[in-house]
Chain A
């Protein structure tokens, strides 16, 4: 009997290294809720492409261990909460899906939160900007929160331009932008800049001639914009076409290359904060990301692509730390241990209480020739 026990123990010890040394070989599935159709599909495609590139890189390089790979299982939500919920239920039902990633809109994340927490499936948010979305050990966010960078940009612009008055555009139907504007407004007013007025628009608006007229009627020395991309483009175009020649300050929605391709010189000189820019990529990781992304998708990556890329790498990093065959539970615990995302394109990305962040604020502006340069020019 002792001999049998000894033989069994020896057998177990002999097989143990196969799983104790690292992640078991195999391709692991991540449920990825895409937003490639619907009102913000222009950004959704970028997130998706960034994630696809990361998954391909991770699988090809054996980043998580020899013989391992990641596969994205994609389901489309069109940014609709109901469809996102349906997608999430399908991922939860499929036990081969170890983790999920989703969402540009904070409201959609909030809709999914109770479902994700109840089912105990890890979720990494790639685009929603509202603070407080993470719920470790299950929900994390790699979105670089724009609020603090908006405030820093507004302060820097006020310091350089030295306006007496400022007018503010805000998306009245978007709580995140309202909060971002309120924080920036408070900071700028504290510098002695008087608020000439606040002009509200809606995210679904397409005609900005009247709001631009309204803002110009306030005669502000500077105009700051806190809206989503399409309204921001429309507002700047309407202001410039009506002859407003004072400074305009934008936000990170102006960062994709497609914005300058569409607007040309109209957007030139409008400062905005940025965490990642293909044109200003410095680190080897960032340069490789730009090169590989451009080769694969025929266009340079933007901040959305970078965040989709980071979401998959965060999951992969947690997977890499596991031994044997991972489960949702072990992966959630491993994600909680990620304090910085090692492979990133920002030159550093820390994770605090489930929320990723980068250091410093880079303020840039598109140039008339379509390139991006630091603002103000050195």
Chain B
């Protein structure tokens, strides 16, 4: 029983990383209409920036996380303005049928940013110094609880709640949803779509950056492979949870993490990813809008 509970906590922590990533990924898709293949690189670069802040500036844990989050956001903003904004100027990336062009552009940026991340880390898998993050092992009775797992779960809950409140219960969130639905109509209603796009891109990159920094610390792996791992699972979480609801993406991300850990523990590691993607396929076939998505919100 103890082993089951331990693995449940492990699954929640791993799933929280998927969830954080999925929230950012879903935000871009729902608001900007872009299936952004470069999204994983924001997580890698955020982890690299946070590590640089620790190694070169001696930044404490909160500041290092902040540096990574800001770096992820700025990179996302930069990519959006360089790669996707020109496409919008030619008739819009997604809303007017330009999804394929945006996807191809994002793949190009994915490859470029991944390669640059490889060079930035010397093609090595780097790690955060042990004294630069909360590394203590806590105990709840016989249950060991690594501090970083608790930090990761808490960060996911806070980020998800905050972004959900922003999207659903604020004027800016209403503007985001309006632009996501129809940019031209939103502009006629007094919304500045450019501002919404810029803020959304930054927010999505920052959220993925948070996943990257926490993932880089938890897994002791700061390299270009960090974002690639999150990308596939994050995409699955968005599909399962629903494109336009951050709660769905978060819940699906955590569920995927638990499913992954439990299937490795009780079934087989070889089947682990197969089970994840079978679930993804099942949702695409049977409930393409995901757990929480609205029926009207279908981009594919």
On A, residues with C-beta under 8 Å from B are 36-37, 39, 41-42, 44-45, 172-173, 199-202, 204-211, 213-214, 217, 229-230, 233-234, 237, 241-243, 258, 262-264
Q: Tell me how far the C-beta of B16 lies from the nearest C-beta in chain A, rounded to whole angstroms.
A: 11
Chain B residues contacting A201 (CB-CB under 8 Å) are: 269
Determine the distance from Cα of A208 to Cα of B265 in the docked complex, in whole angstroms.
12
Flag if A202 contacts B123 (CB, 8 Å).
no
Flag if A207 contacts B146 (CB, 8 Å).
no
B149 at the interface (CB under 8 A from A): yes
Determine the distance from Cα of A245 to Cα of B115 in the docked complex, in whole angstroms.
38
Query: When each residue 188-223 of chain B gets 1 if its CB lies under 8 Å from chain A and 0 otherwise, what string results?
Result: 000000000000000000000000000100111100
- The residue that A242 contacts in the complex, of B137, B220, B270, B272, with Cβ under 8 A, is B137
B225 at the interface (CB under 8 A from A): yes
B226 at the interface (CB under 8 A from A): yes
A201-B269, A207-B219, A243-B144 as given contacts; A264 in contact with B130, CB under 8 Å: yes
- The residue that A37 contacts in the complex, of B115, B221, B268, with Cβ under 8 A, is B115
Chain A residues contacting B3 (CB-CB under 8 Å) are: 213-214, 217
B108 at the interface (CB under 8 A from A): no
A37-B123, A258-B124 as given contacts; A211 in contact with B264, CB under 8 Å: yes
Q: Tell me how far the C-beta of A175 lies from the nearest C-beta in chain B, rounded to whole angstroms.
A: 13
Number of A-B contacts (CB under 8 A): 94
> Chain B: which residue is nearest A299 at the CB level?
B122
Determine the distance from Cα of A233 to Cα of B3 in the docked complex, in whole angstroms.
23
Flag if B11 contacts A210 (CB, 8 Å).
yes
Mind listing 22 A-B residue pairs with CB under 8 Å? A37-B115, A37-B123, A42-B122, A42-B124, A173-B270, A200-B268, A200-B270, A202-B269, A204-B225, A209-B10, A209-B13, A209-B146, A210-B10, A211-B264, A213-B3, A217-B6, A230-B221, A230-B225, A233-B125, A237-B220, A242-B146, A262-B125
Determine the distance from Cα of A243 to Cα of B146 in the docked complex, in whole angstroms.
11
On B, residues with C-beta under 8 Å from A are 3, 6-7, 10-11, 13-14, 17, 115, 118, 122-127, 130, 135, 137, 144, 146, 149, 215, 218-221, 225-226, 229, 260-261, 264-265, 268-270, 272-273
Flag if A37 contacts B118 (CB, 8 Å).
yes
Determine the distance from Cα of A110 to Cα of B101 in the docked complex, in whole angstroms.
37
- The residue that B7 contacts in the complex, of A45, A172, A210, with Cβ under 8 A, is A210
Q: Tell me how far the C-beta of B275 lies from the nearest C-beta in chain A, rounded to whole angstroms.
A: 13
Flag if B226 contacts A44 (CB, 8 Å).
no
Counting chain A CB atoms within 10 Å of each CB, the highest count among B144, B215, B264 belongs to B264
Chain B residues contacting A233 (CB-CB under 8 Å) are: 125, 220
- A208-B219, A262-B127 known; 20 new pairs, CB 8 Å cut-off, are A36-B123, A39-B225, A41-B118, A200-B264, A200-B269, A205-B229, A206-B219, A206-B229, A210-B11, A210-B261, A210-B264, A210-B265, A213-B7, A234-B220, A241-B137, A243-B144, A262-B124, A262-B220, A263-B127, A264-B130
A45-B123, A234-B221 as given contacts; A204 in contact with B137, CB under 8 Å: no
Counting chain A CB atoms within 10 Å of each CB, the highest count among B14, B215, B265, B269 belongs to B269
Determine the distance from Cα of A173 to Cα of B137 in the docked complex, in whole angstroms.
31
Chain A residues contacting B149 (CB-CB under 8 Å) are: 209
Determine the distance from Cα of A205 to Cα of B215 in the docked complex, in whole angstroms.
12
> Chain A: which residue is nearest B219 at the CB level?
A206
Chain B residues contacting A234 (CB-CB under 8 Å) are: 219-221
Q: Tell me how far the C-beta of B242 lies from the nearest C-beta in chain A, rounded to whole angstroms.
A: 25
Q: Tell me how far the C-beta of B298 lies from the nearest C-beta in chain A, rounded to whole angstroms.
A: 31
A36-B123, A41-B123 as given contacts; A206 in contact with B225, CB under 8 Å: yes
The 8 A-B residue pairs with the shortest CB-CB distance, nearest first, are A41-B123, A200-B269, A210-B261, A210-B10, A206-B219, A217-B3, A206-B221, A207-B219
Flag if A210 contacts B14 (CB, 8 Å).
yes
> Chain B: which residue is nearest A200 at the CB level?
B269
Determine the distance from Cα of A364 to Cα of B135 in the docked complex, in whole angstroms.
28
Flag if B269 contacts A206 (CB, 8 Å).
no
Chain B residues contacting A229 (CB-CB under 8 Å) are: 125
Q: Tell me how far the C-beta of A277 lies from the nearest C-beta in chain B, rounded to whole angstroms.
A: 19
Flag if B226 contacts A206 (CB, 8 Å).
yes
Q: Tell me how far the C-beta of A127 lies from the nearest C-beta in chain B, rounded to whole angstroms.
A: 15
- The residue that A214 contacts in the complex, of B7, B137, B144, B225, with Cβ under 8 A, is B7
Q: Tell me how far the C-beta of B93 lies from the nearest C-beta in chain A, rounded to whole angstroms.
A: 29
Determine the distance from Cα of A172 to Cα of B144 in the docked complex, in whole angstroms.
27
Determine the distance from Cα of A233 to Cα of B126 in the docked complex, in whole angstroms.
11
Chain A residues contacting B14 (CB-CB under 8 Å) are: 207, 209-210
Determine the distance from Cα of A36 to Cα of B270 in the docked complex, in whole angstroms.
29
Chain A residues contacting B260 (CB-CB under 8 Å) are: 210
Chain A residues contacting B124 (CB-CB under 8 Å) are: 42, 258, 262
> Chain B: which residue is nearest A36 at the CB level?
B123
> Chain B: which residue is nearest A39 at the CB level?
B225
Determine the distance from Cα of A263 to Cα of B124 in the docked complex, in whole angstroms.
13
Determine the distance from Cα of A209 to Cα of B6 in the docked complex, in whole angstroms.
10
Determine the distance from Cα of A7 to Cα of B174 in the docked complex, in whole angstroms.
100
Q: Tell me how far the C-beta of A100 lies from the nearest C-beta in chain B, rounded to whole angstroms.
A: 22
- The residue that B126 contacts in the complex, of A45, A173, A262, with Cβ under 8 A, is A262
Flag if B221 contacts A214 (CB, 8 Å).
no
Determine the distance from Cα of A173 to Cα of B220 in the docked complex, in whole angstroms.
21
> Chain B: which residue is nearest A214 at the CB level?
B265
Chain A residues contacting B218 (CB-CB under 8 Å) are: 207, 209
Determine the distance from Cα of A209 to Cα of B258 in the docked complex, in whole angstroms.
12
A213-B7, A213-B10 as given contacts; A230 in contact with B270, CB under 8 Å: no
Chain A residues contacting B13 (CB-CB under 8 Å) are: 209
Chain A residues contacting B125 (CB-CB under 8 Å) are: 42, 229-230, 233, 262
Chain A residues contacting B146 (CB-CB under 8 Å) are: 209, 241-242
Flag if A172 contacts B270 (CB, 8 Å).
yes
